[in-house]
A and B are shown apart, each in its own frame.
Chain A
Amino acid sequence: MSPRAWPLHLALAASLVASTARAADVAAAAAAAPALPAVDRSAPPPVTPASPMDVPALDVDPVRPGVRILWVPVPGVRRVAVTAYLGSGQLALDGGSTAANELLGDQWSVATRGHAADALEQAETDLDASLWAGLDLRHAWVALSVPRDDLGAGLDLFEEVLREPTFPGRELKRSKTDLTMWLGSAAPHSPSTVAAYAERYGWYAPDEPRGTDRVDLGKVASVKRADLVRRHATLLATSPIDLLVVGDVDRAALRPRLVALVDGLGADAAWAPAVPAHPARGERYIGIDLPGIDQANLVVRCAAPPWNAPDAAAFRAVQYAIGGTFLSRLNANLREDKGYTYGGYSRWYPNDTDGVWSFRVQVDQAVVGDALREVFTEMDAMMATGLRDDELAAFRVSEVTDWNLLLGTTDDADSAYSTLVERRSSVAAARADLAAGQAVTIADTLDAARTWLGGPERLVVVVGDRSVIAPQLDGVVPDVTWYTPEQAVFGRLDPVEPTP
């Protein structure tokens, strides 16, 4: 039967079935009706392609120099998300990540002058609201998610957290204890956690911005409440502020409240500059010895383009095809063809000035060498041919599908627009990026794969039982330098550093 003949038949079938709700009734009706023609299963039915939907631009509403409200209307959603982005962060405070900065992010939303820690937590529960804060190298933020009907009460709490956190000593002590126990006890025993730390610190040197978050427990212990109070005040007084509002709100009614909320805060200053690009470190092969375990964690990491690079769209396609989905080449090879793993996926982490591509997989230790060979084979294949036609077509569809989910929920929209704010970008730029993805050619993907997957910087991390793994690596990778889990967790992976 031709697909074009379906509608008439569908109408008949629908009238037979929809009018009844019990199996016996339907069966009786079906017995009296003409038999349904068999469907054509010789090929998958055609799909009506979706087009990219329109999404609203960031509506910029200046409050005063250095302070703006950015409105994102999302009709029909229940929640409202409000985020105060402060345009300076850890680099401005201390030149990088420090124990005090990390604890400031952790403790900012714990208690306020108006609400002790338990009262604040209860108030959030009562409103079905979430409040959280943090800071990274370039900026800081305080965020609220609350049902629209309780937005007023939610903003009262939000204002307290933004302006008047109290950093109570007992909470600070507990946070230090938790961090110490995590790094000192729990993390070194988790193979996947150890792999994640080894990947980060094997890539970023201690003296570059993204490598400064190595934790020194001695310095953690010495952080005082006053250190957090001072940093908080500095950020509020010296940062430009963007207030991102996402949801279904009455803008005219809400604006005065938001203006009052940031009254006296912020500065007419430029946003912190982009974090300097990571200096390439060549190839590194790191092993972390966890004797006695029978699973290995593998990581392969390469330099990748920043989000705004000319070949970003092409690299997005490369990432999609090689490791971004269940169907991707690496998972298809290692899981579906070889049965080495439960699953392995890659990610692209683009920054403003650089980026990384990372593939992570867990395999049985007996096949570590073979699995690594297959990873390199797939990377080489991508560098030899780029994407296939079907991969490129699927990539294009996936980009449109993802785009069309941008306004699905408040959280979806907040996540998308937050990225734009953090990048100092725009919906127009995102739309252009989507168009660039639709225009990517196989030749483009070939160039991007060769540039990045074949670049001069590569890191391989292997976590597992050295006695089992090391013999398998001969001829697969150059000499591996072995470290302890503790060295990985604390970032003591550089030859120039003392090992604990």
Chain B
Amino acid sequence: MRLAPPTSLVPHVAAAATALLAATAAAAATPASPTAATVHTLPNGLTVVIEEQHRTDQVALFLRYGVGSRDEGVGEHGCAHLFEHLMFEGSANVPTNMFDTWLTAGGGDNNAYTSEDETVYHMTFPSGALDLALFLESDRMGFLDAGLDAANLANQQKVVLQERRQGYAEPHGRDSDVVSRVLYPEGHPYHVPVIGTVADVEGFSLDGVLDFWQRHYRPRNAVLVLVGNVDTDAALASVTRWFADVPDPGPAVARVDGPTPPAVPADALVIDEVDDRSVTLAWRTVPLGHPDEPALDVLSYVLDNGRGTRLADALYYKHPLASAFGVWSGMSAIDGTFQVDVTSAGPPLPRLVKVIDATLARVVRKPPSQEEVDRARKALLAGIEDTLETPEGRAGLLLYCHDTYGDPNCLGPELARYEAVTPADVARVAGTWLAPEARVTLSVVADGDGGSLPGAAPVELP
């Protein structure tokens, strides 16, 4: 990835946040969507979503391919993410390095990210560069194979391995991938980190990656979203013209959707360059769009949203047990995670776990007040309307809605789901999904520090 989010669940959290950031309290009362995108399908199967926004001259283009690390087979781990690099290395009519050169010369900027479920290429540019942007995207969708060569592949393999090392070199840089590895056991589509394994990344051949591209990078497996200073009819005509010669090799290969192996409680250990011990508790929860998703999100804010929230007070504001902590709930297409991270300010890790357990048990035993839930919901949805002010914010949101619900204008109904959450719902999901016996833990301690949780076993990333 270029400047993409870290691997593992973070992109999904970002996607979920983007979705939430699109709804508004005002819209909740009226389940009409504050977006007005139109959806079109080209003859070759490419789905096109367009929304006009004329506040500035900018246009955002998001192109999402339905391929992520979960689609990788044996020997392919890291290939979806590698493509996020290779797609910039040239195609039939765009020589090496010229994708960025031409787009930049036209005033544009671009980036990409990969998750377990998708790979998204996104760019912004002045409206006068629309045809240029479509030329570049269509050329690499249809004709990458004519431009990619072994030298470019070899270089990007090195860059990806360096990216992996760089991410893992910082304190706690491995935590997220280790938690996912334990939480999603062997056989689960999310078991292998998005960035892949060293052996696989080193072993990719040009034929192998082009085979992967032919299977997944096809119009029927893609959604193109355009938002900004465009006229819908003219923009659609431009999209149609530039993507008309992109071949339609048929539907994409079937995806791995489940069933997924159940979580197995485990205690993992990472030895890291840290001075303070930390512990993570993580639970498997629900996928995007699940009825319990909103209540789990609200629960995370009931626990941690600054002063006066339950875990924040118990660990930090009222009792200085932690030097850093965080709670988040993140969902992906076929599974979800609820996670609590705590860095100790001195107490042993078992004591911190005890406090977390007790706090969660109290939520189950006695539901939070309506005021707590209202406050959490307010914080959860804060800033949502701000996201709608930029073309890129809207484009990310429309894409999320389309992928999750098949409707880019899902914001009104999405918000209504959050407005419907009650204190009893919050208590129920805490009891259903966050049982102590269902969680995995990760202790992170310095070399030679015996202060991990009892029984914690080292986990290596391949």
User: Using a CB–CB distance below 8 Å, which chain A residues touch chain B?
Assistant: 6, 9-11, 13-14, 16-18, 20-23, 26-27, 30-31, 36, 38-39, 41-42, 44-50, 53, 76-79, 117-118, 121-122, 125-126, 128, 147, 174, 177-178, 181, 185-186, 188-192, 290, 292-295, 325-327, 332, 335-343, 362-364, 390, 393-394, 397-398, 400-401, 404-405, 407-409, 411
CB distance from B360 to the nearest CB of A (A): 21
Known contacts: A17-B40, A79-B386. The answer to whether A177 contacts B307 by CB under 8 A is no
Q: Say if the beta carbon of B121 comes within 8 Å of chain A.
A: no
Please state if B129 and A47 are interface contacts (CB–CB under 8 Å): yes
CA distance A400 to B136 in the complex (A): 22
Q: Which residues of chain B are within 8 angstroms of A46 by Cβ–Cβ distance?
A: 131-132
Query: Which of B102, B155, B240, B308 is the one whose CB lies under 8 Å from A14?
Result: B240
Please state if A342 and B159 are interface contacts (CB–CB under 8 Å): yes
- Please, could you name 11 A-B residue pairs with CB atoms under 8 Å apart, sorted by A? A18-B233, A39-B241, A44-B94, A44-B132, A53-B57, A326-B100, A332-B97, A336-B155, A341-B159, A343-B3, A394-B101
CA distance A325 to B2 in the complex (A): 12
| Segment with Cβ contacts to A, from B160-168, B181-189, B279-287, B434-442 | B160-168
Query: Which of B40, B106, B238, B276 is the one whose CB lies under 8 Å from A10?
Result: B238
Q: Which residues of chain B are within 8 angstroms of A332 by Cβ–Cβ distance?
A: 97
CB distance from A45 to the nearest CB of B (A): 4
Given contacts A47-B131, A122-B375, A177-B320, 10 further A-B contacts (CB under 8 A): A9-B237, A17-B41, A50-B107, A125-B378, A126-B375, A126-B378, A332-B97, A390-B101, A397-B105, A408-B55
Please state if B43 and A117 are interface contacts (CB–CB under 8 Å): no
CA distance A405 to B45 in the complex (A): 34
CA distance A36 to B107 in the complex (A): 29
Query: Which of B158, B244, B308 is the one whose CB lies under 8 Å from A118?
Result: B308
Q: Say if the beta carbon of B232 comes within 8 Å of chain A.
A: yes
Q: Which residues of chain B are within 8 angstroms of A16 by Cβ–Cβ distance?
A: 240
Q: Say if the beta carbon of B126 comes within 8 Å of chain A.
A: yes
Query: Which of B240, B323, B345 is the one whose CB lies under 8 Å from A13?
Result: B240
Q: Which residues of chain B are within 8 angstroms of A398 by Cβ–Cβ distance?
A: 104, 107
Q: Which residues of chain B are within 8 angstroms of A191 by Cβ–Cβ distance?
A: 169-170
CB distance from B369 to the nearest CB of A (A): 13
Q: Say if the beta carbon of B7 comes within 8 Å of chain A.
A: no
Q: Say if the beta carbon of B139 comes within 8 Å of chain A.
A: yes
Query: Which of B40, B43, B131, B275 is the one whose CB lies under 8 Å from A186?
Result: B275
Q: Say if the beta carbon of B236 comes within 8 Å of chain A.
A: yes
Please state if B39 and A21 are interface contacts (CB–CB under 8 Å): yes
Please state if A36 and B244 are interface contacts (CB–CB under 8 Å): yes
- Contacting A at CB under 8 A, from B145-173, are 154-159, 162-163, 165-166, 169-171
Query: Which of A178, A397, A405 is the one whose CB lies under 8 Å from B58?
Result: A405
Known contacts: A76-B55, A128-B382. The answer to whether A48 contacts B128 by CB under 8 A is yes
Query: Which of B101, B245, B389 is the one whose CB lies under 8 Å from A408?
Result: B389
CA distance A117 to B312 in the complex (A): 13
CA distance A272 to B321 in the complex (A): 42
Minimal Cβ-Cβ distance residue in A for B168? A295
Please state if B155 and A118 are interface contacts (CB–CB under 8 Å): no
Q: Which residues of chain A are within 8 angstroms of B157 by Cβ–Cβ distance?
A: 339
CB distance from A28 to the nearest CB of B (A): 9
Please state if B232 and A18 are interface contacts (CB–CB under 8 Å): yes
Query: Which of A31, A192, A336 is the one whose CB lies under 8 Å from B97?
Result: A336
Q: Say if the beta carbon of B36 comes within 8 Å of chain A.
A: no
Q: Which 9 A-B pairs have the closest CB atoms?
A: A48-B128, A339-B158, A10-B237, A118-B307, A30-B43, A14-B237, A295-B169, A185-B275, A401-B107
Please state if B97 and A363 are interface contacts (CB–CB under 8 Å): no
What 0/1 pattern do residues 445 to 462 of B give for CB contact below 8 A with A? 000000000000000000
Query: Which of A22, A335, A390 is the one whose CB lies under 8 Å from B159?
Result: A335
Please state if B105 and A394 are interface contacts (CB–CB under 8 Å): yes
What 0/1 pattern do residues 28 to 70 of B give for CB contact below 8 A with A? 0000000000111111010010000001111000000000000
Q: Say if the beta carbon of B214 comes within 8 Å of chain A.
A: no
Q: Which residues of chain B are within 8 angstroms of A295 by Cβ–Cβ distance?
A: 165-166, 169
Q: Say if the beta carbon of B422 comes within 8 Å of chain A.
A: no
CA distance A38 to B38 in the complex (A): 26
Please state if B155 and A327 are interface contacts (CB–CB under 8 Å): no
Query: Which of A26, A42, A177 is the one whose CB lies under 8 Å from B41?
Result: A26
Known contacts: A189-B275, A362-B169. The answer to whether A38 contacts B245 by CB under 8 A is yes
CB distance from B245 to the nearest CB of A (A): 5
Query: Which of A125, A190, A192 is the one whose CB lies under 8 Å from B379?
Result: A125
CB distance from B274 to the nearest CB of A (A): 6
CA distance A343 to B166 in the complex (A): 10
Q: Say if the beta carbon of B234 comes within 8 Å of chain A.
A: yes
CA distance A126 to B154 in the complex (A): 52
What 0/1 pattern do residues 91 to 125 of B give for CB contact below 8 A with A? 01110010011101111000000000000000000
CA distance A45 to B108 in the complex (A): 14
Q: Which residues of chain A are within 8 angstroms of B237 by Cβ–Cβ distance?
A: 9-11, 13-14, 17
Query: Which of B131, B159, B323 is the one whose CB lies under 8 Å from A178?
Result: B323
Q: Which residues of chain A are within 8 angstroms of B162 by Cβ–Cβ distance?
A: 339-342, 363-364
Please state if B155 and A405 are interface contacts (CB–CB under 8 Å): no
Q: Which residues of chain A are within 8 angstroms of B132 by Cβ–Cβ distance?
A: 44-47
Q: Which residues of chain A are within 8 angstroms of B154 by Cβ–Cβ distance?
A: 339
Known contacts: A44-B135, A394-B104. The answer to whether A39 contacts B41 by CB under 8 A is no
CB distance from B361 to the nearest CB of A (A): 23
Q: Say if the beta carbon of B260 comes within 8 Å of chain A.
A: no
CA distance A177 to B240 in the complex (A): 60
Q: Which residues of chain A are within 8 angstroms of B247 by Cβ–Cβ distance?
A: none
